[in-house]
Chain A
Amino acid sequence: MEYKFEGNTIPKEEWYWIAQYQDGSTLKQFDDNGFYHQFMEIDQSQLKVFKMVSDNHSNIFTLIFTEEMKLIHFYKRFMLDIGTEQYREISCYCFGYEIKGQKMMVMITPSNEIIITNNTNLIQIE
């Protein structure tokens, strides 16, 4: 299935999010109608559950959202050993929340290792 955003085709990520709202509706990053949605489209005032899912992995990561949380989601992209035969591009999927300035972040690495931290800047990928 192709997913469109402003006329452009957006390939699916290895891991993507699903936002479930208090009224039972959902917003999927890659929705069932072939549209891509940005993280900023999530209505956090109505959010109940935030999930990270994958078409290639059976595990699901579920964050139960409460109103004092500020949801965080981003990709950490790596361009390693630039200009060599060992060059590789790696994506890590980061999500979590912030409450009163304190963060709790989960990072899914390419090997599906799960790293939990309050500072994703501390994580080294080689």
Chain B
Amino acid sequence: MAATVSLSESNGAGETITASITNTNMGSTDAVNLVSASYPITANTRSYAKYQRLYCSNLNGSTSIANLKVWRTGSLGGSDTHVTNARTSAYAGAKAYATPVNTSIATVDQTMPTSSPAGANLGIGGSLTGALTGVGYSDYLVHQLVVDSASTTGTTTTLSISYDEIG
């Protein structure tokens, strides 16, 4: 049986963790499951960063989870960019949680891939070759939209994740 895995998000000072989030919408506030239309991102600013982790609550007989990959599909408005700490090389280790901000964040500067990368780009225990062998979290996926002056409304991009599970 598949391990029970979901995406969690952390928000606020001191980190309020929400398990099994229902969306990963980004906007001009630090809130989980937000409605983007209610929190539009002004041109030449950034969204508030998302701090999200894969959470394994039960391996259900499997022995480990590894090889985490994160990517986006769809389009961004204008020449907006989507930046992240996820990367397949020169991974900077587990990013520590910090109160989400709408300004640039050190090491959150890699362009989010637009297809499944050729190797893990999000670590476990600070390493791209790390594994979850019980209940636990991945490293934080920190990501942020950078909205430029030529941005257009109405575009949608979605997040996808894959991992290997050893039965």
**A contacts, CB < 8 Å to B:** 5-6, 8, 10-13, 29, 36, 38-40, 73-84, 86, 89, 91, 94, 119, 121-126
Contact = CB atoms under 8 A, between A and B. Distances in A.
Contacts of B29: none
Given A74-B164, A75-B165, A77-B162, A13 B61 contact: no
Nearest to A13: B1
Interface of A is mostly: mixed
B73 to A, nearest CB: 7
A13 B128 CA distance: 27
B103 interface: no
Given A73-B166, A77-B162, 12 more contacts: A6-B61, A10-B61, A36-B1, A74-B166, A75-B167, A78-B161, A78-B162, A83-B21, A83-B159, A121-B67, A121-B118, A126-B73
Closest 8 CB pairs of A and B: A83-B23, A5-B61, A75-B165, A81-B158, A79-B161, A10-B1, A80-B160, A11-B1
Contacts of A29: 167
A42 to B, nearest CB: 11
Interface string B66-77: 010000010000
Which secondary structure characterizes the binding site on chain B?
Answer: loop
Contacts of A94: 164
A77 B67 contact: no
B5 interface: yes
Contact of A38 (B7, B24, B164, B167): B167
B167 A84 contact: no
